[in-house]
Amino acid sequence: MHKLAQLDHKHVWHPFTQMKDWLKQEPIVIVEGKGAVLRDVNGREYLDANSSIWTNLHGHKHPKINAAIQRQLKKISHSSALGFANEPASLLAKNLVDAANPKFPRSAFRAPRLNKVFFSDDGSTAMEVALKLAYQFSRRTGKQRPKFLSLDGAYHGDTIGAVSLGHIDLFHKAYSGLLFKTDKTPSPYCYRCPHNRAKPERADARDYRKCNWECVSTVEKKFSDQKKRGESYAGFVFEPLMQGAAGMIPQPKGWLQKTSEIARGHGTLLIADEVMTGFGRTGGGTPFASHNENVQPDLIALAKGLTGGYLPMAATLTTQKFFDAFLGEYDEFKTFFHGHSFTGNQLGAAAALASLEILQSQKSTNDRERLETVFSKELQTLWPLKNFGDIRQVGLIAGIELVKDWQTRERFTLAERAGIRVCEAMARRGVLTRPVGSVIVLMPPYCTTGAQMQKMVSALRESIEELFGK
């Protein structure tokens, strides 16, 4: 075993990992990356088919982001946001505000203007900030016991507030004693929806579902039940267009707009977790997924792709109205009491500025559109295999749900570890990704070439054939 792998085994504790399994085999030790390619310590190359856990946007070692960080390094790496402003964080805040306020059609429901940015470190803290802001804001505007509604299966991070908003029993049960209660409403999971009366087809379940938007009626009922109790939810929390860690569950077109209007009608704040969906991931030409449905949230949480996947930095965007609710005399203590040592980190902000500039270039827009088409074409080739139950693509994210037989939608059991085994077989073919249960995630960096895309999908197909036959 390589010396670095030995050191890892001896000392490193990996996230969301059963370490007993981890210690059974030599880990892949990544030492280099370029574009969509990762290289390990033994010189073997792999395609980064989940963009290093959904963070990388434009590829590794991107010359423009590298140069921006190097320029910043020559000035300063970090100074505190407690008491001081800094150059790249000020510029980045302005650029994020510009990107987060597109022109909405007149029909869009009262689009608030997002013009304040609170920086933090990662997706969990961006959501924790959104939650704390919404909680305080609600208390200050008349709600004594603010309550939140989020989606079944939701994952919003690992800090206690973010976990409280989440509804994945497998992860969250372990902390139940530490959490506060939030309500949940089913997510519109068309493939396994109890209201979808359509038989399985060889197509994305959103396209052949037979229903009457019962998922929207359920949300409506949640709000009206709350109203009957003389209350309304403080915030409606969602991942727009696609729920990630829930199992790459996409929303049928129109769901977000309909449910957002219901929430707004009840005076409820919209809190969008765009940690995964942000920065062009969901296509449609807009940086943020909510805007694809003409929904403007009151709070947007951003992380992962913010720095192009280079550095841990996050941001929570909100409105002047929120900001004003925290203004007061020093001894009124209306201050937002929250912050991190690395808030507004200068290296992170420099990387984020460069990443945003690349994202907004015509070249990147064209490349993403082209890649999306190739991606879609490649994914279609998977339908003939019996173990692919649903193939759901939103922009440059795909979730491919493995089943025992597509005609019955029968699930693999957890003990069968189907997703993990498929990803191990893909790694043997030089393609790295990580499953969410039995859902294989493909989320290529935007610089992925057609040939690389083809390889990612064929590695998946061959792995399925190897493990489960044709």
Give residues in contact with ligand PLP (CB under 6 A).
122-124, 127, 155-157, 239, 244-245, 273, 275-276, 303-304
Q: CB 416 → ligand PLP: shortest distance, Å?
A: 24
Q: CB 274 → ligand PLP: shortest distance, Å?
A: 8
* 352 close to 308: Cβ distance less than 8 angstroms: yes
Nearest to 120 by CA among 149, 161, 152: 161
Q: CB 238 → ligand PLP: shortest distance, Å?
A: 10
Q: Which is nearer to ligand PLP, 62 or 304 (CB)?
A: 304
Measure CA of the first residue to CA of the last residue in the chain; give whole Å: 35
Q: Which is nearer to ligand PLP, 186 or 450 (CB)?
A: 186
Q: What is the dihedral angle through the alpha carbons of 248, 253, 254, 260, rounded to the nearest 10 degrees?
A: 20
Cα separation, 221 vs 229, whole angstroms: 12
Q: CB 153 → ligand PLP: shortest distance, Å?
A: 11
Q: CB 159 → ligand PLP: shortest distance, Å?
A: 8
Q: CB 37 → ligand PLP: shortest distance, Å?
A: 23
Nearest to 15 by CA among 167, 120, 124: 124
Nearest to 437 by CA among 424, 459, 420, 461: 420
Looking at beta carbons, which residue is closest to ligand PLP? 123
Q: CB 332 → ligand PLP: shortest distance, Å?
A: 32
Q: CB 167 → ligand PLP: shortest distance, Å?
A: 13
Q: Which is nearer to ligand PLP, 38 or 127 (CB)?
A: 127
Q: Which is nearer to ligand PLP, 288 or 388 (CB)?
A: 288
The DSSP bridge pattern shows strands 235-238 and 269-273 to be: parallel
Q: Which is nearer to ligand PLP, 150 or 260 (CB)?
A: 150
Q: How many CB atoms lie within 10 A of CB 59?
A: 23
* 41 close to 1: Cβ distance less than 8 angstroms: no
Cα separation, 38 vs 56, whole angstroms: 12
Cβ neighbours for 280, distance < 8 A, ≥ 6 positions apart: 57, 286, 287, 305, 359, 364, 368, 395, 396, 446
Half-sphere exposure of residue 274: CA atoms within 13 angstroms, side-chain side: 29
Q: CB 131 → ligand PLP: shortest distance, Å?
A: 12
Q: Which is nearer to ligand PLP, 27 or 247 (CB)?
A: 247
Report the SS3 class of residue 80: coil
Cβ neighbours for 198, distance < 8 A, ≥ 6 positions apart: 205, 208, 209, 210
Cβ neighbours for 210, distance < 8 A, ≥ 6 positions apart: 196, 197, 198
Q: Which is nearer to ligand PLP, 275 or 315 (CB)?
A: 275
Q: Which is nearer to ligand PLP, 402 or 436 (CB)?
A: 436
Q: Which is nearer to ligand PLP, 127 or 379 (CB)?
A: 127
Residue 391: both structure tokens together:
């193939």
Q: Which is nearer to ligand PLP, 8 or 158 (CB)?
A: 158
**Complete DSSP assignment for 239-261:** -SSEESTTTSEEPPTTHHHHHHH
Q: Which is nearer to ligand PLP, 92 or 325 (CB)?
A: 92
Q: CB 211 → ligand PLP: shortest distance, Å?
A: 25
Q: CB 246 → ligand PLP: shortest distance, Å?
A: 9
Cα separation, 74 vs 191, whole angstroms: 52
